[in-house]
Amino acid sequence: MSFSFFKASRPKTPSELAKAVKDTFNALDSITVAEVKALEKAMEEVEKNIVAMKVMLTGDGEAEPNPDQVSQLTFEVCNEDVIALFIHKLPILGWEARKNLVHCWSIMLKQKVDSKFCCVQYMENHLELLDFLVVCYDNKEIALHCGGMLRECIKLPSLAKYILESPSFELFFKFVELPNFDVASDAFSTFKDLLTKHESAVSQYLTDNYSEFFEQYEKLLTSPNYVTRRQSLKLLSEFLLEPPNSHIMKRYIAEVSHLKVMMNLLKDSSKNIQISAFHIFKVFVANPNKPREIKLILAKNHERLLALLNNLGKGGEDDQFEEEKELIMKEIQKVFRLANLES
């Protein structure tokens, strides 16, 4: 005698699952906060469908995901406008649901459907969603999840280029100094990716926005926050010394205001910051085409600079560092002697 009264429910097809995700997300809009039980039930349905998506995309631990289903789900999610719901509904989801959704997003964004990355195309046609993700750094509850989604998007040149050129990019100068350490660190990771992942886009952005960018960046280099100073100094070395940015570097090392910032950082209380500052300062000094104003600053401050450099990194740096330091000290002495001859 069989006691099986309930028939196991048939797993949803990719098309049915995408529609179910859309319907359950939209159902949340029709329920008021006062309807507590209904809201809890609707949220359970949303979270259940997100888990079902994750299983379809990653497998269930026993069986591998079906490539055809993964492709079909990715297509249907784009076709049903579910991606916009993913992003706009993040603030009302629980932590686990947000984590699962970010995981699903990282898979679908890379998924090709009929030789096209349809999620990338969707984002290219809905670029305002990128701005929404950037602004979400102001909400510490979802900032890290939105940051994860953003960094997946930034891997694509077209999406990274849009953010660089968008007014929302300027918000990163604020977000990297937010009081919440985890959020500020995550924002800096995204900021770094934007400035290092796609050389040609970054080079064009810096060319077009040189003055505005470095005016803001100088505030990071002179921040009272140690972590901000150290991270921004290290990042400056990374993108400034890239070959495609050589014209930016030449312009940067010709300006007295930037030299003065590096000279002040050579006096920083942190040894790590002093060393990082030296690696940019040396480019100012080694420049064979130093402008007259740069030479005058170096000559005027030569005694203090030589004293600082003489004590820099004592006992902890390698032979190459010591050789570079010695060459820079000799160049400063040479600049001072020539300045005296000319006066």
The predicted structure's pLDDT at residue 316: 64
Q: What is the pLDDT of residue 181?
A: 96
Distance CA(111)–CA(69), nearest Å, equals 11
What's the Cα-to-Cα distance from 221 to each of 132, 160, 194, 199, 266, rounded to whole Å?
Answer: 27, 24, 18, 22, 12
- In the block, tokens 């090709």 appear at 112
Task: Please tell me the distance from the alpha carbon of residue 154 to that of residue 165, in angstroms, as a whole number.
Answer: 13
User: Residue 176 in contact with residue 220, Cβ under 8 Å?
Assistant: yes
Say what the pLDDT of residue 1 is. Answer: 46
Closest Cα partner for 280 from 314, 248, 318? Answer: 248
Q: For residue 242, what are the CA distances in angstroms to 32, 34, 145, 203, 250?
A: 53, 56, 30, 9, 12
The C-alpha torsion from 198 through 199 and 201 to 202, rounded to 10°, is 110
Per-residue tens of pLDDT for the chain, all 343 residues: 444 544 456 788 999 999 999 999 888 877 665 677 877 888 899 999 999 999 999 998 788 999 999 999 999 999 999 999 999 999 989 999 999 999 999 999 999 888 899 999 999 999 999 999 999 999 999 999 999 999 999 999 999 999 999 999 999 999 999 999 999 999 999 999 999 999 999 999 999 999 999 999 999 999 999 999 999 999 999 988 888 899 999 999 999 999 999 999 999 999 999 999 999 999 999 999 999 999 999 999 999 999 999 989 766 667 888 999 999 999 999 999 987 776 5
Using CA atoms, how far apart are residues 289 and 317, in angstroms rounded to an integer? 29
Question: For residue 60, what pLDDT is reported?
Answer: 83
Which residue type sits at 16?
E
Length of the chain: 343
Q: Tokens in use for 25?
A: 């997300």
Residues 127/164, Cβ–Cβ less than 8 Å = no
